């Protein structure tokens, strides 16, 4: 009985081996058929299977394909449409006289302002020097020291100061001292005024740079009839006047 059971087990084992070999051969045959389906008989050229791209990816690919890289070139400043900044023009004019006019591209104004400033500085210097000289001469003529005679350089050739005319020269030197002091102060105020005018001009010029001065801006004045509505009589209630029409 034992020998019979062992014999049956051996037969079952052999049967399982045969079934496994058959299954392996079937799998290998199916794989070979699939591999042969991916080739073409002519010249054994390999044909790649079609690539299936999702809809979103195909859209992205088409967008990338149609997109062209555009290199932007830095454009130069168009001076025909450029308008200055009023605040910047103001600060430039405050820091450096004339810089606001240069920023506004109004170069023709520079000789006016610089000429005015140079003239005021020259007048300030000259009047200040004359004031110092006459002040020293006035102090020398008013003291009793005979060694201080700086006033002699202001006298005409051959003129001398004595007891008879000393009062006259004392008053003369005092008036001239005060006159040159006043002119010196006026020169200083004139210099400040020219500087302030250059600052104001730079700011106003920049602010009015975009002011409309085209042909559409016009003022027309013409005679017209004006109704007063004070009387029922149209002749008495109508007057003649001037009508102004502003087009902008």
Same domain for 166 and 223, yes or no, is no
**Domain co-membership, 151 together with 233:** no
pLDDT value for 4: 41
Residue 79 included in any domain: no
Asked if 228 and 203 count as a contact pair (C-beta separation under 8 A), the reply is no
Q: Report the chain (248 residues): mean pLDDT per 10 consecutive residues.
A: 51 67 60 45 46 46 46 60 89 94 93 96 96 92 83 82 86 93 97 96 90 64 70 64 71
Whether 100 and 199 have beta carbons less than 8 Å apart is answered as yes
- What angle do the packed helices 86-95 and 166-207 form, to 10 degrees? 150
Has residue 60 been placed in a domain? no
Same domain, 91 and 203: yes
User: Distance (Å, rounded) from C-alpha 110 to C-alpha 101?
Assistant: 7
At 224, list the tokens: 């017209």
* pLDDT value for 33: 45
Pair (176, 202) in one structural domain:
yes
Per DSSP, the three-state class of 13 is helix
Q: How much is the pLDDT for 211?
A: 67
Whether the model pTM is above 0.85? no
Q: Quick one: 139 and 221 in the same domain?
A: no
Q: Residue 59: inside a domain, yes or no?
A: no
Q: Is residue 78 part of a domain?
A: no
Cβ–Cβ < 8 Å for 86, 203: yes
Tokens read off for 245: 């029409």
CB 210 within 8 A of CB 222: no
The answer to whether position 56 is within a domain reads no
Which are the contacts of 12, defined by CB distance < 8 A and separation ≥ 6? none
Could you tell me the two tokens for 84?
């200055």
* pLDDT on residue 160: 83
> Domain check: are 141 and 242 in the same one?
no
pLDDT at 43: 45
- Asked if residue 240 and residue 201 are part of one domain, the reply reads no
Which pLDDT belongs to residue 223? 76
Closest CA to 85 of 74, 75, 66, 100: 100
- What is the domain count for the chain? 2
Is the domain of 176 the same as that of 99? yes
Tell me what pLDDT residue 34 has.
39
* Same domain for 167 and 152: yes
Query: Same structural domain for residues 158 and 190?
Result: yes
Q: Is residue 57 part of a domain?
A: no
Residues 174 and 107 both lie in one domain:
yes
The domain containing residue 222 runs over which residues? 212-248
For residue 10, the Cα-to-chain-centroid distance in whole angstroms is 101
Has residue 23 been placed in a domain? no
- Does the residue 228 lie in any domain? yes
The pLDDT value given to residue 241: 73
Asked whether residue 158 falls in the same domain as residue 191, the answer is yes
């Amino acid at each position: 009985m034992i020998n019979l059971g062992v014999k049956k087990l051996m037969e079952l084992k052999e049967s399982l081996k045969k079934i496994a070999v058959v299954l392996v051969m079937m799998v290998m045959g199916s794989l070979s058929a699939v591999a042969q389906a991916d080739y073409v008989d002519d010249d054994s050229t390999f044909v790649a299977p079609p690539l299936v791209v999702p809809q979103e990816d195909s859209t992205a690919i088409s967008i990338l394909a149609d997109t062209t890289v555009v290199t932007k070139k830095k454009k130069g400043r168009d001076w025909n449409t450029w308008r200055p900044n009023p605040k910047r023009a103001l600060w430039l004019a405050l820091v450096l006289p004339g810089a606001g006019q240069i920023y506004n591209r109004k170069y023709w104004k520079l000789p006016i302002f610089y000429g005015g400033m140079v003239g005021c500085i020259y007048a300030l210097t000259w009047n200040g020097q004359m004031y110092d000289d006459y002040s020293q001469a006035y102090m020398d003529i008013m003291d009793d020291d005979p060694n201080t005679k700086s006033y002699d350089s202001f006298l005409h050739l051959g003129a001398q100061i004595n007891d008879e005319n000393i009062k006259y020269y004392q008053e003369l030197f005092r008036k001239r001292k005060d006159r040159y002091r006043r002119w010196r102060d006026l020169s200083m105020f004139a210099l400040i005024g020219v500087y302030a005018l250059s600052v104001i001009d730079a700011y106003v010029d920049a602010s009015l740079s975009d002011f409309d001065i085209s042909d559409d801006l016009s003022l027309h004045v013409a005679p017209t009839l004006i109704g007063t509505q004070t009387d029922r009589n149209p002749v008495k209630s109508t007057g003649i006047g001037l009508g102004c029409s502003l087009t902008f």
